[in-house]
A and B are shown apart, each in its own frame.
Chain A
Amino acid sequence: MIEVENLTKRFGSTVAVDAVSFTVKPGEVVGFLGPNGAGKTTTMRIITGLIYPQSGTARVHGMDIWDEPVEVRKLLGYLPEATPLYDEMSVTDFLGFVATVRGIPAREIRARVEKMIEVCSLQTMAFKDISELSRGFRQRVGLAQALIHDPPALVLDEPTSGLDPTQILEIRRLVRELGKEKAILFSTHILDEANKTCDRILIINDGRLVGEGSPHDLAAMASGEAVYSIEFKGDANSFTEQLPGHFKVARSQPGVEGYTGMELTCSDTADHSEELFDLTVAVGGKLRQLSRKEATLEDVFLELTKGGEA
């Protein structure tokens, strides 16, 4: 639905987006993840035709941003970062105005505006001026504006920034709900959010795509190592000597009550916790703690985005 091909955008000598390509299919929520200033907003602004790239192109439903910018915008709903709106208008007037410029037939506008007010739970604010609304309600008006023409593709630039936890959950629920049929590209710099909301994550840093995949895939490709931490009491030397080959002792330090805290890395990502337990029993030791950690999305993110700085 949304195809981005080899996009490059420079502002003066800074390269904001560097040869970025990806696609978003219908029924897919794609999280666009990266530190601030990585090029998320620039990419999104190019897709919506607000700016043009130096090279490369973007297509929505086969329509090219260079050839048919107006057609592309018809197919998209866009929520800009920081949600600029016309503050002097009331919510109903504003949505009515958007419906008109979106080309919704005059006789359907009323019903459509009412529907959006319902979908985005704006009933209590319908006749208030937008300038009087709180951050959360503004964001909902922004979403209502993006959804009013029922677009097949949505581009949401940090839709949850500045909201309280309840509102964040609500927006995420709405995004997941919409993502069942629509193609959604949704940017955030919060890992947990991408993890919970998206089917697929694109990690961007310094204008380059540095990682792509489902939250699970990304975590797995992290370092290919799992980390076990144990607290062991007994003959530590014979324990370490008899460790199977895929384990390595990363750290070992004496703890309280005769226990030794150890961190072991394992080159195999399968779960080998049982081997450690059996070995402890074999050397006549005792175990107080045994836990296995896989690399989290956070580790992946930090590792991938660190590469760009070096």
Chain B
Amino acid sequence: MRHVLAIYRKELRLYFDSPIAYIFIIVFLAITSWLFFRTFFLVRVASMRSFFTIIPWLCMFFIPAVSMRLWAEERKTGSNELLMSWPLQEWEVVLGKYLAALTVYVVTIVLTVPLAIVVGALGAPEWGVIVGSYLGCIFLGAAILAIGTFISSLTSNQIVAFIISVIIVAGLTIVGQPLVTMFLQGPLVILVPYAEWLGLANHFSSISRGVIDSRDIIYYILLTALPLYLTVKSIQASKVG
């Protein structure tokens, strides 16, 4: 655990010593606040629903921007040579790096809490829904970040890591939407429940209704654990190649 912590602290410093984390946080907050307040005072409903519906679409672009450097940069500069020559297990490094990136995201999400306070001051929102939605944000982000981490471990080019991650996350987000499922007709209809189950945003919207269903939790845990496991495997595989 000491190793994980050492890697975690080093990665977190790299995020906060450089402008990456600040740019990420500021842009994320600016966009969400702007999109939220644009309609909030017109609609005059004390709810954060419009805020939470845009979160999956923002995460699709923002989280790969955080995860893209995790491994690609090390491979590019060759510092993974050094990293892997130290007595660390692959999973310790993967976990340390992942948790550091997750921290950047969680800090960002926590910084949107003032929005909830504003809503609470102006009306009487359903707090259960808001708390559930925040929980959903964390689960959703954790899964997207894990996917981004895996993609980053496959390439030494950060831009490639970013683009591939966005494409995969976009695919996972869209697959459960009516936009896709309405094309599954005839014999393909049997695929509809699977497509809906696979959709990232579907599970998010069910959590953000305030319903904590174990199926959604299991979905997100799987979608976080599997890419991280694959990351460990891809790093091990690169040694045998």
The chain B residue sitting closest to A70, CB to CB, is: B87
- Whether B240 and A101, one on each chain, are in contact in the complex, defined by CB atoms closer than 8 angstroms, is no
- Whether A50 and B239, one on each chain, are in contact in the complex, defined by CB atoms closer than 8 angstroms, is yes
A11 to B86: give the CA distance in the assembly, Å. 24
Does B128 sit at the interface, judged by CB under 8 A?
no
Does B30 sit at the interface, judged by CB under 8 A?
no
Indicate with 1 or 0, residue by residue over B72-87, a CB within 8 angstroms of chain A CB atoms: 0000011101101111
Stretch at the interface among B1-9, B59-67, B137-145, B186-194: B1-9
The chain A residue sitting closest to B7, CB to CB, is: A101
Q: Which A65-90 residues sit within 8 Å CB-CB of chain B?
A: 70-71, 73-74, 76, 78, 80, 82, 84-89
Q: A93 contacts which chain B residues (CB < 8 A)?
A: 13
Indicate with 1 or 0, residue by residue over B166-201, a CB within 8 angstroms of chain A CB atoms: 000000000000000000000000000000000000
Indicate with 1 or 0, residue by residue over B7-48, a CB within 8 angstroms of chain A CB atoms: 101100110011000000000000000000000000000000
- Whether A50 and B85, one on each chain, are in contact in the complex, defined by CB atoms closer than 8 angstroms, is yes
Does B58 sit at the interface, judged by CB under 8 A?
no
Q: A82 contacts which chain B residues (CB < 8 A)?
A: 78
For A51, give its contact among B7, B13, B77, B241 (CB under 8 Å): B241
Does B50 sit at the interface, judged by CB under 8 A?
no
- Whether A49 and B77, one on each chain, are in contact in the complex, defined by CB atoms closer than 8 angstroms, is no
- Whether A88 and B84, one on each chain, are in contact in the complex, defined by CB atoms closer than 8 angstroms, is no
Q: How far is the CB of A10 from chain B (nearest CB, A)?
A: 10
Chain B contact patch, size range: 20 to 34
Q: How many residues of A contact B (CB 8 A)?
A: 29
- Whether B85 and A86, one on each chain, are in contact in the complex, defined by CB atoms closer than 8 angstroms, is no
Q: A49 contacts which chain B residues (CB < 8 A)?
A: 84-85, 239
The chain A residue sitting closest to B89, CB to CB, is: A70
Does B221 sit at the interface, judged by CB under 8 A?
no
Q: A92 contacts which chain B residues (CB < 8 A)?
A: none
Contacts A84-B78, A84-B81, A101-B6; A51 near B240 (Cβ below 8 A): yes
Indicate with 1 or 0, residue by residue over A31-55, a CB within 8 angstroms of chain B CB atoms: 0000000000000010011111000
A-B contact count (CB 8 A): 66
Q: A87 contacts which chain B residues (CB < 8 A)?
A: 77
Q: A98 contacts which chain B residues (CB < 8 A)?
A: 86
Does B222 sit at the interface, judged by CB under 8 A?
no
A293 to B87: give the CA distance in the assembly, Å. 49
Does A127 sit at the interface, judged by CB under 8 A?
no
- Whether B86 and A101, one on each chain, are in contact in the complex, defined by CB atoms closer than 8 angstroms, is yes
Q: B239 contacts which chain A residues (CB < 8 A)?
A: 49-52
Does B88 sit at the interface, judged by CB under 8 A?
yes
- Whether B85 and A73, one on each chain, are in contact in the complex, defined by CB atoms closer than 8 angstroms, is yes
- Whether A76 and B85, one on each chain, are in contact in the complex, defined by CB atoms closer than 8 angstroms, is yes
Q: How far is the CB of A95 from chain B (nearest CB, A)?
A: 12
- Whether A85 and B6, one on each chain, are in contact in the complex, defined by CB atoms closer than 8 angstroms, is no
For A74, give its contact among B2, B7, B9, B87 (CB under 8 Å): B87
A267 to B87: give the CA distance in the assembly, Å. 54
Q: How far is the CB of B17 from chain A (nearest CB, A)?
A: 6
Q: A78 contacts which chain B residues (CB < 8 A)?
A: 82, 85
- Whether B78 and A88, one on each chain, are in contact in the complex, defined by CB atoms closer than 8 angstroms, is no
- Nearest 9 interchain pairs by C-beta: A84-B78, A78-B85, A100-B6, A80-B81, A73-B87, A84-B79, A74-B87, A70-B87, A48-B85
12 pairs, CB–CB < 8 Å, chain A vs chain B? A11-B241, A50-B85, A52-B239, A70-B89, A73-B85, A80-B78, A84-B77, A97-B10, A101-B86, A102-B86, A102-B87, A103-B87
New A-B pairs, 6, CB < 8 Å, besides A73-B85, A101-B88: A45-B81, A49-B239, A50-B85, A88-B14, A100-B2, A145-B82
Residues of chain A having any CB pair with chain B under 8 Å: 11, 45, 48-52, 70-71, 73-74, 76, 78, 80, 82, 84-89, 93, 97-98, 100-103, 145
